[in-house]
């Protein structure tokens, strides 16, 4: 288990949140009440807490107070692509999005395949004062997909798990060794489930729309083939495989069945895959060019169903910052990926307003479920846990506008989307970092 990062605290004053609707999915709590923070940790919560002398009082005005979000998957510009985004600018976007813990992908420049680099990213996170950054270690040296990296040393340095980030671990033997070796350190391997040989050169999901637009297609089978293969490898190694941003009905069926068989498999998806379908790329909108590509409507509906039935274990931002120059290109040449930190919460709440998920269920996918997957203390309102909190109004309306989002990178696939549910404030270890 990774030690939580240490954050500057305000030991002099306690903070009490009053007049809140407290939701803690980990404890099945959804009730009006107060929550007391002392020395950066949650000291108490309940229906009617006495206000301690000298405590700062935050009147929540009936808004929801919940655990800060745990984002399983975000690419950061640092190290190596600071022109796209720095850790400081990502931390601003995260705070505005209610995210207090974030897992960073290791396919940076250089790749996070050395203990010193992992420690560097952890320290950079601590320096923000608002965001715990838990880096993934590279699954293979240089994220090149050939030789497994030093999982033991990386884990000691603070790596939460192992992945090659946006690159699939393509070689079956390498993936087998990774799953097997990660077991020794109680860890797991995160796969970008896309068979590269089938996806090479593709820009959109293969099908009628790609045909009409004249774009090279990626068959949805590129995802299900990789998922099927890795489930088989998890079975023979006893290792734990986690599939990132699952986006197709076929892959979700395979995962559902594997879970029923007791194979150690988990998965997440990202907001674009349950909020958008392939039509979002109409008129060659490169901000909607993602990896994996946006899918057909029936796949989007399958993702929604899998969120509701528990097949999907977490919703991650899948944040991929890009510079305008990365996107102002002909569609097939534009880089794939969208920013997601500021919209993770709002887009997920849209599923609540649509009636697909209950509010606590949506929060669970954003807090305690990813936290448990990673073995973290975060993600609940339990006594003694770090006071990482988000205060939000479930109905307050706002509109996503690329160009006006917090943080540097603005390449949102949700540009123009009207949303209900807005973050009012974010606290990290008891200290207000947003709102």
Partner 1 sequence: MLPFPHRHLLALQGLEPPYIADLLDLAESYALLNRSGKTQRDLLKGRTLINLFFEDSTRTRTSFELAGKRLGADVINMSVSTSSVNKGETLLDTASTLNAMHCDLLVVRHAQSGAPALLSQKVDAAVINAGDGTHEHPTQALLDALTIRRRKGRLENLTVAICGDVLHSRVARSNIHLLSAMNCRVRVVGPPTLIPAEAARLGVEVFHDMKAGLRDADVVMMLRLQKERMAGGLVPSAREFFRFYGLDAAKLAVARPDAIIMHPGPMNRGVEIDSAVADDPERSVIGEQVEMGVAVRMAVLDILARNLRRGARL
User: Which span sits near partner 1 by CB under 8 A: 9-17, 20-28, 86-94, 177-185?
Assistant: 177-185
* Residue with smaller CB distance to partner 1, 56 or 150: 150
* Residue with smaller CB distance to partner 1, 149 or 280: 149
Residues in binding contact with partner 1, number by CB under 8 A: 20
Distance (Å, rounded) from C-alpha 55 to C-alpha 334? 52
- Contact status: 238 vs partner 1 (CB under 8 A): yes
80 Ramachandran zone, left/alpha/beta (phi>0; psi -120 to 50): left
From candidates 172, 184, 329, 354, binder to partner 1 by CB under 8 A: 184
Annotation says 283 is catalytic: no
Binding mask 190-229 for partner 1 (x = CB under 8 A): ----------------------------------------
Distance (Å, rounded) from C-alpha 226 to C-alpha 195? 6
- Contact status: 174 vs partner 1 (CB under 8 A): yes
Closest approach of partner 1 to the CB of residue 147, in Å: 4
- Contact status: 150 vs partner 1 (CB under 8 A): yes
Nearest to 42 by CA among 21, 59, 62, 67: 67
* Residue with smaller CB distance to partner 1, 84 or 155: 155
Q: Which of 164, 318, 388, 415 is catalytic?
A: 318
User: Which span sits near partner 1 by CB under 8 A: 149-157, 198-206, 208-216, 360-368?
Assistant: 149-157
* Residue with smaller CB distance to partner 1, 68 or 145: 145
From candidates 181, 287, 414, 427, binder to partner 1 by CB under 8 A: 181
Nearest to 316 by CA among 74, 4, 24: 74
Distance (Å, rounded) from C-alpha 318 to C-alpha 267? 13
- Contact status: 180 vs partner 1 (CB under 8 A): yes
Nearest to 290 by CA among 281, 279, 303, 299: 281
User: Which span sits near partner 1 by CB under 8 A: 18-26, 92-100, 181-189, 302-310?
Assistant: 181-189
Q: Which of residues 386-405 bind partner 1 (CB under 8 A)?
A: none
- Contact status: 172 vs partner 1 (CB under 8 A): no
Distance (Å, rounded) from C-alpha 340 to C-alpha 347? 10
CA angle 146, 147, 149 (to 5 degrees): 130
Q: Quickly tell me which residue has 């919460």 as its tokens.
A: 345
The percent of the chain in helix, strand and coil, each rounded to the nearest 5, is 35, 25, 45
User: Which span sits near partner 1 by CB under 8 A: 29-37, 140-148, 202-210, 273-281?
Assistant: 140-148
Alpha helices per DSSP H over 42-114: 87-96
CA distances for 406 relative to 217, 266, 286, 326, 340, angstroms: 33, 31, 20, 19, 11
User: What positions carry a catalytic annotation?
Assistant: 318
Site residues (vs partner 1, CB under 8 A) = 141, 146-153, 173-174, 177, 180-181, 183-184, 236-239
């Amino acid at each position: 288990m990774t030690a939580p990062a240490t954050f500057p605290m305000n030991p002099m004053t306690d903070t009490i949140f009053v007049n809140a609707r407290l939701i803690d999915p980990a404890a099945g709590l959804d009730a009006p009440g107060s929550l007391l923070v002392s020395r950066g940790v949650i000291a108490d919560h309940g229906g009617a807490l006495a206000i301690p002398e000298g405590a700062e009082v935050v009147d929540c005005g009936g808004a929801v107070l919940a655990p800060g979000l745990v984002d399983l998957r975000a690419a950061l510009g640092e190290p190596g692509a600071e022109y796209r985004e720095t850790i400081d600018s990502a931390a601003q976007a995260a705070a505005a999005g209610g995210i207090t813990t974030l897992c960073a992908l290791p396919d940076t420049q250089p790749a996070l395949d050395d203990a010193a680099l992992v420690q560097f990213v952890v320290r950079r996170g601590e320096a923000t004062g608002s965001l715990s950054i838990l880096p993934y270690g590279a699954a293979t040296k240089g994220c090149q997909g050939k030789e497994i990296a030093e999982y033991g040393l990386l884990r000691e340095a603070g790596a939460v798990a192992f992945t090659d980030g946006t690159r699939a671990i393509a070689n079956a033997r390498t993936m087998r060794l990774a799953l097997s070796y990660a077991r020794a350190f109680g860890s797991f391997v995160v796969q970008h489930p896309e068979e590269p040989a089938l996806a090479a050169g593709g820009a959109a999901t293969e099908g009628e729309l790609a045909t009409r637009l004249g774009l090279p297609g990626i068959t949805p089978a590129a995802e299900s083939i990789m998922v099927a293969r890795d489930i088989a490898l998890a079975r023979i190694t006893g290792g734990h495989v986690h599939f990132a941003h699952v986006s197709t009905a076929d892959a979700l069926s395979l995962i559902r069945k594997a879970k029923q068989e007791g194979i150690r498999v988990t998965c997440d998806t990202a907001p674009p895959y349950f909020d958008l379908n392939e039509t979002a790329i109409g008129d060659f909108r490169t901000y909607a060019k993602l990896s994996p590509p946006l899918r057909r409507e029936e796949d989007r509906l399958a993702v929604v169903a899998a969120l509701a039935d528990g097949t999907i274990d977490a919703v991650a931002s899948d944040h991929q910052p890009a510079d305008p120059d990365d996107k102002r290109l002909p569609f097939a040449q534009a880089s794939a990926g969208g920013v997601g930190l500021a919209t993770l919460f709002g887009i997920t709440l849209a599923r609540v307003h649509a009636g697909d998920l209950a509010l606590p269920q949506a929060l669970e996918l954003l807090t305690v479920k990813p936290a448990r997957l990673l073995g973290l203390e975060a993600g609940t309102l339990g006594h003694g846990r770090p006071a990482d909190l988000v205060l939000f109004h479930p109905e307050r309306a706002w509109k996503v506008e690329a160009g006006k989002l917090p943080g540097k990178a603005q390449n949102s696939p949700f540009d123009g989307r009207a949303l209900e549910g807005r973050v009012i404030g974010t606290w990290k270890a008891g200290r207000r970092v947003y709102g």
